């Protein structure tokens, strides 16, 4: 396999060209990772627009312990405050750093950096103890993805 790296011309967009006879699973995984990282690169550094008592606040995604969908609204749980955010969970999955945040139930996205410990729970679920003292249940459908994300 030949790898060529070239500097783009002034004003030219960066691009990656893949020439291959067949797309293997490895190549598809690489493409997926490149797309995810390219999207995260531009968006993850942006602060989130959140709402508290009628005021708009800007917070870093890393300040969020978890996001939860409750009563048709999405909330961002931070160390001291709970903010409402005007995005859907699937939209947050697209803009959050892929390796730091993971869906752990139909209604929750968890920041992996905020986990202090994990413990098995009833029915194949897991319980995540967070650094702020809260506990989040990981649905059994998401346990394998969590283990993979944590390298377990």
List the chain domain ranges. Answer: 48-150
CB-based contacts of 9: which residues, under 8 Å, 6+ apart? none
Beta-carbon contacts of residue 114 (< 8 Å; ≥ 6 apart): 65, 66, 130, 131, 132
Kindly report the backbone phi and psi dihedral angles of residue 142, in degrees, each rounded to the nearest multiple of 5, phi listed first: -105, 0
Please report the beta strands in the chain, taking only residues with DSSP state E, as ranges in sequence order: 48-52, 55-59, 64-70, 73-78, 82-85, 101-105, 108-111, 115-120, 126-130, 135-138
Tens digits of residue pLDDT in 21-60: 777 777 777 777 776 655 544 444 578 899 999 899 999 9
In this prediction, residue 42 carries a pLDDT of: 45
Residues sharing a CB contact under 8 Å with residue 144, sequence separation 6 or more, in sequence order: none
Q: Is the domain defined by 48-150 classed in CATH 2.40.50.1020?
A: yes
Per residue in 117-135, pLDDT tens?
A: 988 888 888 899 999 999 9
Question: What's the rounded Cα separation, in Å, for the pair 18 and 5?
Answer: 12
DSSP 8-class letter at 117: E
Find which of 54-63, 97-106, 141-150 is predicted with most confidence, using mean pLDDT. 54-63
Say yes or no to pLDDT of 64 above 50.
Answer: yes
């Amino acid at each position: 396999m030949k790898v060529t790296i070239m500097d783009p011309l002034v004003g030219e967009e960066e691009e990656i060209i893949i020439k291959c006879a067949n797309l293997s699973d490895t190549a598809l995984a690489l493409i997926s990772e490149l797309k995810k990282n390219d999207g995260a690169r531009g968006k993850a550094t942006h602060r989130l627009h959140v709402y508290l008592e009628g005021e708009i606040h800007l917070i870093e995604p890393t300040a969020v312990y978890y996001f939860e969908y409750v009563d048709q609204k999405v909330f961002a749980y931070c160390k001291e405050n709970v903010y409402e955010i005007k995005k859907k969970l699937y939209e947050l999955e697209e803009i959050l750093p892929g390796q730091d945040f993971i869906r752990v139930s139909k209604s929750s996205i968890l920041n992996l950096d905020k986990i202090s410990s994990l413990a098995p729970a009833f029915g194949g679920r897991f319980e995540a103890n967070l650094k702020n003292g809260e506990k989040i249940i990981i649905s059994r459908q998401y346990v394998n993805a969590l283990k993979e994300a944590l390298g377990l």
